[in-house]
Structure 1
Amino acid sequence: MLNTDVDLKTREARQNSLLERIFQLQRHGTTVKMEVIAGCTTFVTMCYVIFVIPEMLSAAGMDRGALFVATCIISAISCMVMGLYANWPVGLAPGMGLNAFFAYAVVQGMGYAWEQAMGAVFWGGIGFMLLSIFRVREWIVGSIPQGLRIGITAGIGLFLALIGLKSAGIVVANPDTIVGLGDITGFAQVMASLSLFLILALSYRKMKSAVLVSIAIITIIALVTGQVQFTGVVSMPPSISPVFARLDIMGALTPDMIGVIVAFMFVNLFDTTGTLIAVGDKAGLADENGKMENMSKAMVTDGCASWIGAVVGAPTVTTYVESASGVAVGGRTGLTAVVIGLLFLLCLFLSPLAGMVPGYATAGALLYVAVLMAGSLGTVDWGDLTEAGPVMITTIMMPLSFSIANGIALGFIAYPVIKLLAGRVNEVSISVWALAIMFVLKFVVFGI
């Protein structure tokens, strides 16, 4: 018995040593336990994609069962590569906004076959990858003034808040006032509020797994009250063949598809770049000069994931803002991303169990992260209106336009124009001017 205990401790020591070498846990001030908790937390806040994406893309005529498998597989691969190669604690999966554009605008609206639209995603992903490999994206990130970086972080926080409030039914559409207050006495709304209250209280008490505990408690309450039905634990995954490698690569190379390809590339570029900046800042990956550790590797990873997702059958892969929830509970290294990836693989067989987590159970997590990210506004120099103005434009336009990319674009346009009119044009770099002009062209020429 003694030898068995010694062997077990020896194996654990070797495993910890291997993880330390790969992820440099001590240098990042984290532990295996904290990383696993962070990975589980991020996964629970974003696992809804394995149900929403298939439902969304089925509107384009694609097989729903195959989409479920494709979503799980590409999410798992992307997360694990991000963790092992870039050592970043972020999760990747097919993006909600881009896939809505794919299904409802390109296929249903413009009338293209989904195979041809998938080819456009492929070419947009190739362009996105090349921008990442040749460090054009890194140049873009390095060109962002500190004020706009703050605006991006806070804006994504407000964007998350809107998503959380909308998914919980606390904020609803209103034809007279655009948005309005929903029925806050409903079960879902009460549970979403309780979820947030639990997270804030437990976090104040220094509980690292506050988000995960809150989600578990709300899910159990939903089960006990009959709001969620227990549908089993294990099921075999369906075939992926109806969507795997069915893209029409050459069919997408037509003049009228150029705008679609550019749209996929540009929107993904600024969505993921903004998310990486915000999550990287929260994870403490920026040095004293604001340079992000392994940013180029993180960009190459999500750049490659974009076109690989088109091949697998689940476009377009992007870095998820929900990653901030895992960072908030201590995720600092790629081990967090690897855990997320493994859980996505597990979902291939445990989809009924994963599907029992209701949306209102994760709404509180999104609102909690919004609180943390909006805190960056405290560092803005509000006395300098040439800095404060662009910050607020960036921050408020993300949730109001329901687009991270649009918020970044409008902030970049406002920053040099305001500086110019205020007689402080010398504070604007050539790269910022170049990006501002590019964003103007984005709206005027491409209308996106």
Structure 2
Amino acid sequence: MERLFQLREHGTNIRTELIAGVTTYVTMAYILFLNPLILSATGMDKNAVFFATAVGSALVTLMMGLFVNFPVALAPGMGLNAYFAVVAAQQGGVVSWQVALGAVFVSGLILILLTVSRIRQLLVVAVPDSLKYAITVGIGLFITIIGLKLGEITNIVYLGGPSAGAVAKGTPVTLKFFEWNLTIAHFVENKVALLTLIGLVITAILAVARVTGALLIGILLTTLIGIPMGVTNTEAFFKTPWIPNFSQLYIGSLDIKGALTGGFFEIVLVFTFVALFDTFGTLIGTADKAGLLHRPDSEQKIGRAMAVDATGVSLGALLGTSTITAYIESASGIAAGGRTGLTSVTTAILFLLSVFLLGPLVAIIPDAATAPVLVIVGVMMMSAVKKIDFDELGTAIPAFLTIVMMPFTYSIANGIGAGIVFYVVLNAFRNLFTKEKVKIHWLMWTLAVLIVLRYIFITE
């Protein structure tokens, strides 16, 4: 152990690392319940997605521990799995879930290429911090809307376009808005909405009290409360085997050709772009919290961590899940003393054991139990807004448009596109007509041109 993880050099021991690994697992185990529910909107089987989530998270986290010696765990990322569900939804989606998996796989290959060539680091420098923070906030709001819809507190209504049946066939919709029903009568009549509200209160209280594993505990308690209410389907618990049915998995079910030749390469770019900045921020933040950022080998270690992260994206797609990425929840294990890859190895083992222990539990978790978690995750992602300077309009306007375009147009791609284009245009004019000069990286110009061309030539 000492030779493999350099425990004494990092000021830690086996007991501390094991506790830290368990802490990280408990903090992020909610994804085992949440990811199957989110991706099931595409028609994917929950048990198959659960297997891919657990095994994919285990393998990539194990790689992070053994090859990088870094106390960071990885799993399908919130936000990107929501985007996956939207573009491949059974109603209103633009691609099949097989094509979406193909897009994730290709995005992983692009990330590997960008990491090896060090362009990945250059892209992170090119995009201003204000837009990076805005992307995080926008995705948080996007996730919140999905949670409220999942919990039947709100509904998406289509105006000026076709009926829901026509939407399912891919007919363009001119406008979307969110219909709310917050009357007491609604919650009395709709047990799903009532359970969602109860779960939100419980999960919020646990989170405020800083209870370890608050999100996971909130899911489980809400599920139990849903039993007497008739919302939790207990029959599924007894019908689901403890050992997975390995004949009904999605290993290798991705459609790479469809992702590249069907005119859907922009979906690949969104998966790539979001993962690019999300992972960088997570790795830097956790390394700093663990006291590893200023070590002599920090740059080399973060580079290897990026390579593992990129490999995990394609590996996850091969297994049948959306983008696997580094989790900020790893900070909980670091706070518990985790400093080496032994923390990650411990978390990975627990993810692997989950395949044979949690299947029936996943089967009975209702949407109303996971919807509150999406809202709380949205709150956590919203905190990044504090880092945006809204007094400077050249920064504020692009950031604001990035944030609001994601939930209001129900598109992460629209938010990112609006932010980049407006940042380049506004600051280019400021450089021409004022004495204040803002450096615009050449890659930002390139991205802005590509985004404009996208909206010119891709009309739907």
For residues 102 and 369 of structure 1, do their structure 2 counterparts lie closer, same or farther at Cα, with a shift above 3 Å needed? closer
Residue 21 (str. 1) matches residue 7 (str. 2): yes
Aligned letter for 2:276?
T
Match of 1:47 among 19, 30, 33: 33
Please give the residue correspondences for 1:3-82 in structure 2 after superposition, counting only pairs within 5 Å: 21=7, 32-33=18-19, 35-50=21-36, 53=39, 56=42, 69-70=51-52, 72-82=54-64
The equivalent residue for 1:156 is: 139
Aligned letter for 1:346?
S
Asked if 2 retains the 8 angstrom alpha-carbon contact of 1:195 and 1:214, the reply is yes
Q: Which runs of 5+ in 2 are unaligned?
A: 160-175
The equivalent residue for 1:3 is: none
Question: More displaced, 410-419 or 274-283?
Answer: 274-283
Q: Deviations over 1:113-171 (max 9, x none)?
A: 96x98767655543342123222222211222121122122222212222222221122
For residues 397 and 274 of structure 1, do their structure 2 counterparts lie closer, same or farther at Cα, with a shift above 3 Å needed? farther
TM (norm. structure 1) is 0.74
How many Å apart are 1:299 and its aligned residue? 3.4
Q: SS where residue 208 of structure 1 aligns?
A: coil
Q: Deviations over 1:56-87 (max 9, x none)?
A: 355xxxx9876664554334323433454454
The equivalent residue for 2:76 is: 92
For residues 124 and 34 of structure 1, do their structure 2 counterparts lie closer, same or farther at Cα, with a shift above 3 Å needed? closer
Residue 358 (str. 1) matches residue 358 (str. 2): no
How many Å apart are 1:201 and its aligned residue? 3.1
Please give the residue correspondences for 1:283-302 in structure 2 after superposition, counting only pairs within 5 Å: 283=286, 285=288, 295-302=302-309
Whole-Å Cα distance in 2 between the matches of residues 190 and 178 of structure 1?
22
Question: More displaced, 94-103 or 171-180?
Answer: 94-103
Aligned pair count reads: 415
Q: SS where residue 178 of structure 1 aligns?
A: strand
Whole-Å Cα distance in 2 between the matches of residues 430 and 339 of structure 1?
41
Q: Deviations over 1:250-278 (max 9, x none)?
A: xx399x81744x34531220131243256
Q: CA RMSD in A?
A: 4.3
Whole-Å Cα distance in 2 between the matches of residues 428 and 264 of structure 1?
25
For residues 369 and 316 of structure 1, do their structure 2 counterparts lie closer, same or farther at Cα, with a shift above 3 Å needed? closer
For residues 439 and 338 of structure 1, do their structure 2 counterparts lie closer, same or farther at Cα, with a shift above 3 Å needed? farther
How many Å apart are 1:385 and its aligned residue? 0.8
Q: Which runs of 5+ in 1 are unaligned?
A: 1-13
For residues 294 and 240 of structure 1, do their structure 2 counterparts lie closer, same or farther at Cα, with a shift above 3 Å needed? farther
The equivalent residue for 1:317 is: 323
Aligned letter for 1:222?
G
Whole-Å Cα distance in 2 between the matches of residues 397 and 241 of structure 1?
38
Asked if 2 retains the 8 angstrom alpha-carbon contact of 1:91 and 1:337, the reply is no
Whole-Å Cα distance in 2 between the matches of residues 56 and 113 of structure 1?
6
Asked if 2 retains the 8 angstrom alpha-carbon contact of 1:173 and 1:179, the reply is yes
Whole-Å Cα distance in 2 between the matches of residues 408 and 221 of structure 1?
39
Match of 1:271 among 263, 270, 274: 274
Asked if 2 retains the 8 angstrom alpha-carbon contact of 1:416 and 1:428, the reply is yes
- Between the aligned residues of both structures, percent identity stands at 24
The equivalent residue for 1:130 is: 113
Q: SS where residue 427 of structure 1 aligns?
A: coil
Residue 431 (str. 1) matches residue 415 (str. 2): no
Aligned letter for 2:35?
V
Asked if 1 retains the 8 angstrom alpha-carbon contact of 2:313 and 2:325, the reply is no
Residue 303 (str. 1) matches residue 314 (str. 2): no
Residue 421 (str. 1) matches residue 447 (str. 2): no
Match of 1:386 among 377, 391, 394: 394
Question: More displaced, 192-201 or 328-337?
Answer: 328-337
How many Å apart are 1:416 and its aligned residue? 1.6
The equivalent residue for 1:7 is: none
Whole-Å Cα distance in 1 between the matches of residues 97 and 202 of structure 2?
46
Q: Deviations over 1:325-359 (max 9, x none)?
A: x3585666663686267335523553112222323
Q: Deviations over 1:160-195 (max 9, x none)?
A: 222222221122112457101144443332333333
How many Å apart are 1:386 and its aligned residue? 0.8
Asked if 2 retains the 8 angstrom alpha-carbon contact of 1:306 and 1:315, the reply is no
Q: SS where residue 244 of structure 2 aligns?
A: coil
Match of 1:222 among 208, 226, 232: 226
For residues 441 and 370 of structure 1, do their structure 2 counterparts lie closer, same or farther at Cα, with a shift above 3 Å needed? same
Aligned letter for 1:180?
E
Whole-Å Cα distance in 2 between the matches of residues 201 and 139 of structure 1?
41
Aligned letter for 2:441?
S
For residues 55 and 175 of structure 1, do their structure 2 counterparts lie closer, same or farther at Cα, with a shift above 3 Å needed? closer
Q: SS where residue 198 of structure 1 aligns?
A: helix
For residues 293 and 234 of structure 1, do their structure 2 counterparts lie closer, same or farther at Cα, with a shift above 3 Å needed? farther
